[in-house]
Amino acid sequence: MARPEAESVKITNINLKTKKHRPGFSIVAGIIFLFLLLYFIAIAYPIFWMIMSSFKNTAAIYNDTWGLPKKWLFSNYTTAWQQGVSSYFVNSLIITIGTCILTVLVSSLCAYGLARFQLKGGKFLLLFVSAGLMFSPQSGLIPLYELIQKLGLLDTYWALIITFTAYRIPLTVLLIRSFFLSIPKELEEAAYLEGATSLSIFTKIFLPMSKPILFTGVILTAYYSWNEFLFSIIFIQKEELKPITSGLLVFKDALNTNWGVLLAGLVISAVPLIAVFLMMQKYFVRGLAEGSVKG
């Protein structure tokens, strides 16, 4: 048997080794914390400045750029809403919701087929879908414009919904397919033995189990379609149909650059995406983690 003195010496040595390593870890943790803090300030301060400036008039923004508002002009938001932001906001909401629904629906069906059916040329189809990630939206602007014009979709919501959906499908298909591959095949086989069809398995097993990755697809699609600018100013010219990104451009000219009101409009345009992300962030992180398990 080992002596108590020897055991105490061993415990003392272990404690000394642990104490030697603690300062190193604390320094690394402090550096990481400092980096993350600076990164947070770099991102959060412009947003904070935009919100604070939205309560000022133009003179206060120029003369006291970094200070807090001396007089809080809540009327800037009322003016922005009444001057046209309300219609732009609704248009963006319709386009974004339509794009999210269509993208997730088509992508999930495509991912289900690629993940669960032994299709002839399935690998080529997967490669074809993946190739969509390499195309820049700007490079297809001219042929897209001609196609939408021939289809009679110019100055309609569908001009943007279909375009946005086409560009978001490749990434969304790959994410959802990776998640579908992680679902045990035993569940599917048991459902087939019970007499279920492929469509019922998809709607009653795969979709309910895939909420995290579906919400991830919704967030990524909403972020893209809400903030897209180039297609918005080219495919929609009617003032009453403009989304908020292109609408604020006209809105700026109409108000002779009243920066307080314009910044209020920008804050209004940013609120929906922030709210959606805060509500779905746990699904977003979980979906990204689980959707990248298999390829």
Match 């959060």 to its residue by tokens: 44
Looking at domain 84-290, its CATH class is: mainly alpha
Lowest-pLDDT choice from 92-101, 133-142, 145-154: 133-142
Q: Please give the pLDDT value at position 21.
A: 47
Does the pLDDT at position 265 exceed 80?
yes
Confidence at 128, pLDDT banded by 50, 70, 90: confident
Contact 114, 126 (CB under 8 A): yes
- Strand runs labelled E in 28-166: none
Region 94-101: what's the mean pLDDT?
95
Contact 247, 190 (CB under 8 A): no
Q: Please give the pLDDT value at position 290.
A: 60
Q: Please give the pLDDT value at position 191.
A: 87
Reported as a single tens digit per residue, the pLDDT across 9-43 is: 454 555 545 444 444 458 888 888 899 999 999 98
Match 């032994």 to its residue by tokens: 118
Does the pLDDT at position 287 exceed 80?
no
Amino acid at 189: E
With a pLDDT cut of 90, the percent of the chain lying above it is 28
Reported as a single tens digit per residue, the pLDDT across 162-213 is: 999 999 999 999 989 988 888 888 888 888 888 888 889 898 889 888 888 8
Confidence at 284, pLDDT banded by 50, 70, 90: low
